[in-house]
Structure 1
C-alpha cells in the first residue's frame, strides 16, 4: 500500500497525536498570527474531530487580524484572552466521533464544511458581547475552530446549522473541496439576480433566478473571485459575456484559459479595459446596454459608474463590499422607476449553495485547478497572508496540513493527478 493509499483508506490504527500545528490568532495585528503547536482537541458527546486534508487561505482572515474582537462574527470575543484557530476553507475526514453521534457518523468518511453557520453560539457564551444575545450566526475559523490546522473540532453550532456537508463523490480531490467555499459565494450571488419575463402581452409576469439566458452579462474585475464569476456565469448561457479589467495580463489569462470554454458553449466572450467598455457595450447592444452586471470589485467609483451600463430590466450585483463609512452609492430614481433596474447583493453562501457547488465541481462546470496559485505545508500560512495583503498572489494558496514542512510552490494549474503525486512525495511518515 502506498503512502497516499494508507493515508486515504487505512484507519485501523487511527493514531491521533496529542498536539498539532495550527494557525492561531492571539491578538490584533499581524504580530499576533502564527503557526503554533497546540493540543489536539477532544470531541465532546455531540462533537466530531476531523483530519484537515487541505485548506485554503482566505482574504477574509486579514479583516479578522485587523479587527479582532470588533469583527462582526467575533462580537466581543477577544483573541488575546481566548486565541482562535483560523481558516474557513478546507476538506475533512472524520477521525473521532462523540458518543452521542456514533449512529450518524463514521471514521474515515469525508466532508466539506460551510463555514458561515446560521446558528447562534452554543459554547462559551460568556466570551461574546451580552453573552451572545441577538447573535444569529457564528463562523468556522472565527470563534469556531478553524481549518488551517492538522485537525479541527466540529462543534455543535456546525452540526445544528447543518453545515457539515457530505461529498457527492468520495474520490474528489482535496484541493477542490477546499475551493468549494469561495465558489459557493459566487453561486449564491449569481442566483440573487432576478429577471422578470412575460410570454405575451396578456399573460402574467414570472421570475427566474440567475443571469439572463441569451442576454448580455458584464463581469467587472478579473481578480480571483471575478474569474470564478466568469466561468460560473457560463452555466446560464448568456449571449455575450464581457470581462472588464484594468490589467491587460488578467484579460490575457481570461482569453487563454476561459475563452475556449465560452466558445464551446456558443457564448461570445469579450475582454475590454475600462476606457473602452461604454462604447463597446453601446455598439454590440445597439444602445440597449447590459442585462446583468456583476461587480466583484469593492471600488466605489467603479460601482457607481457601472449603473450607466445597465439596460432596461437589468440587474446590478454588488458582490464586492465597500468600506464602512464610505459605502453610499447614488441610484437614479428614473433608472428604477422607468427602466425597472434591480440591485442585488450577497456576502456569502449557505449549506444549499455549498451542496450546489460540490455538484458543479463534480460535473466539471468549473475547473477548480484554474484558481490554485500555490501549494505547500500549513507552515506557510503567515507567508501567504502577507502575500495576499501585498497583492503578491493571484489565485488561491492550498496548504496540506499533514505533509512535512515544505516551501510554498507557485503553480499555474492544479489537478487531482498533481495533488496525488505531491502528497505521495511529501506526506509525513
Structure 2
C-alpha cells in the first residue's frame, strides 16, 4: 500500500490536509504520482456548497473526497487490465468530465482516492474506459494541469453556432473573421480565451476584451499584447468599462456602431448577461461561459430579436476529451502558452487557505506542486522575497529570463530544490 497526503473535503468549507493509506490497486486501476494541479473557481464553488453540489456525494462527511481537477501526473503502477496501453513513468493529464454512464461524478469532486491536490492517487477504471487519461508529450507538468481549463475555452468556442437558413444545419464555432467580444474577461479564463482566440486557425478579425479592473487589464495586455495579436491578423482592444455611462453603445462604437457575431460572458452578473444580449449582431451567438452558484440565476433575453434577427444563445460547462486533446497538442507544439495564466505558485500546504479565499486572491491562476511545501506566492513577489530566501531569488532570476512568466525551467528548479511536503 502507498501513503498519500491530500486535501480532502468533508462538508461546506471543511477542508483538511491529511495523510492516509491508499488501498492496494485492483487489476482495473492505476497508481499515480501527482506532480501539479491548478486551483479552479469551480472547486471554490464545490467547497462552498458541500454535498449540495451536483458532483459532491451526499456522504462526503464520512467518505471525504480529494479536491482538485486540473492535474498532471506520472504513472507508478498499472493494473493488469491496462498494461501495454498505459506505461509506467509516462506523463498524463486527466479529463475530469467523465460522463460515465450519465453520472456527474468527476475526479476532484466525487472520489475518495483521486483528485489533483494529493501526492499519490488511484485512478479508477472509468477514467480509462472513457479515454480520459490523456498522454502529454510536451515539456514539464504545469501545462498538463492547465490543459483542462484551456479545454473549457476550446469547448466554448466550438459550441458557438449560427443557423444556416438554407440547410437548417448549425454552422458551429465562432465566426471566422467576425467581430468578437469577451465581457469581464481579464481573469485567468479570459486570458486563456484571448490566447486561444488569436492563435488558432479560426480567428475573429476584431476582438474586444472588457473588464472593470485596470490591473487585470494591464496584465492581460502585457501577456497578450495588441501588437502580438495584430501579427496574427486580429485587432485586439482592451477596454475598462467601469466609468461607461452607456456600456452597450460605447462598446458598439468601437465596432463602427455595429453588434458582435460572438459574445462571451465571463462573470455571472445579470446586468452583464443582458448587455451581452444587446451587443449581438444579426445571427450573433451569446455564450454564457460563467458558472453561477445560484440555481435560480436568470436574466432577460430579447425574444423579438431571437425570432427576427436570428440571435442564438448557448452555455458551456467544461470541455470534452477532444477539446483537451486539441489543447494538449497545441501546447506540445508551442502554439498556445499556458504559462500566461499563472500568477501564483505554491505547495500542497497552501491549498486550503487559497481555495477558501480564492475570489479575494488577486491575479490569475494559482499553480500547486503537490510534493512541495510553500505558501501561495505571487510571481511578482519573488524578487523581494529573494532578498532573504535563496529559493525565491533563483526563481526570480529564472522568471526574469522568461519575461516574468513561469516556465519549465522554474518548475524543474522548484521540484529539485523546494522544501518537500511532510507526510
TM over 0.5: yes
- CA distance 1:296–1:282, change in 2 (3 Å): closer
* Structure 2 residue 395 is matched with structure 1 residue 426: no
Partner of 1:90: 71
| Aligned counterpart in structure 1 of residue 54 of structure 2, from 60, 63, 72 | 72
1:399 — aligned with what? 368
CA contact (8 A) 1:216 1:239 kept: yes
Once residues 273 and 396 of structure 1 are traced to their aligned partners in structure 2, the CA distance between those partners, rounded to angstroms, is: 21
Alpha-carbon offset, residue 186 of structure 1: 0.8
TM-score (norm 1): 0.85
The residue correspondences of 1:311-326 to structure 2 (distance < 5 A) are: 311-326=281-296
Please report how far the alpha carbon of residue 365 of structure 1 lies from its aligned counterpart in structure 2 after TM superposition. Answer: 3.1
Q: Does 1:283 align with 2:253?
A: yes
SS state at 1:100 partner: helix
> Deviation digits for residues 358-395 of structure 1, max 9, x if unmatched?
01222333211111122222111112113304x22321
Count, aligned residues: 388
Match of residue 143 from structure 2: 176
CA distance change for structure 1 residues 20 and 206 in 2, over 3 Å: closer, same or farther?
Answer: closer
Deviation of 1:310 (Å):
0.7
Residues 292-317 of structure 1 show CA distances to partners (whole Å, capped at 9, x for unaligned) of 10111111111112211111010110
Given that 1:196 and 1:313 are in contact with CA atoms closer than 8 Å, whether structure 2 keeps it comes out as: yes
Asked if residue 341 in structure 1 is aligned to residue 341 in structure 2, the reply is no
Equivalent residues in 2 for 1:4-403, closer than 5 Å? 18-26=2-10, 28-30=11-13, 32-76=14-58, 78-120=59-101, 136-144=103-111, 145-167=114-136, 169=137, 171-196=138-163, 207-221=170-184, 222-234=186-198, 235=200, 236-259=202-225, 260-274=227-241, 275=244, 277-389=247-359, 391-403=360-372
Asked if 2 retains the 8 angstrom alpha-carbon contact of 1:138 and 1:157, the reply is no
The superposition leaves residues 216-274 of structure 1 with CA deviations (integer Å, 9 ceiling, x where unpaired) of 10000122211211221222321111111111222222222212321211211112233
CA-to-partner distance for each residue in 1:72-105, whole Å, 9 max, x for gaps? 11342x1111111111111111101112322322
Asked if 2 retains the 8 angstrom alpha-carbon contact of 1:281 and 1:290, the reply is no
What value does the CA root-mean-square deviation take over the aligned residues?
A: 2.1
Write the distance in 1 (CA, Å) between the matches of 2:263 and 2:346: 36
CA contact (8 A) 1:218 1:241 kept: yes
Q: Does the Cα contact within 8 Å between 2:37 and 2:368 map onto a contact in 1?
A: yes
User: How far 1:178 sits from its partner (Å)?
Assistant: 0.6
Structure 1 residue ranges, 4+ long, deviating more than 6 angstroms after superposition: none
**SS, match of residue 232 in structure 1:** helix
Distance 1:267 1:225 in 2: 19
Which ranges of structure 1 fall in alignment gaps of 5 or more residues?
1-16, 121-134
Secondary structure in 2 matching 1:117: coil
- Secondary structure at the residue paired with 1:116? coil
Q: Report the CA distance shift for 1:176/1:424 in structure 2 as closer, same or farther (over 3 A).
A: same
Distance 2:346 2:213 in 1: 28
Q: SS of the residue aligned with 1:191? A: helix
2:294 and 2:347 map into 1 onto residues whose CA distance is: 35
- TM-score normalised to structure 2 length: 0.86
Structure 1 SS opposite 2:100: coil
CA distance in 2, matches of 1:184, 1:212: 19
Q: Could you tell me whether the CA contact under 8 Å between 1:110 and 1:166 is conserved in 2?
A: yes
Name the SS of the counterpart of 2:82 in structure 1.
Answer: coil
SS at match of 1:278: helix
The 1:95/1:272 distance shift into structure 2, 3 A limit, reads same
1:417 is the counterpart of 2:383: no
Given the superposition, is the C-alpha separation of residues 41 and 264 from structure 1 closer, same or farther in structure 2, using an over 3 Å criterion? farther
Find the aligned partners of 1:400 and 1:47 in 2 and give their Cα distance.
24
Change (3 A) 1:277 1:216: farther
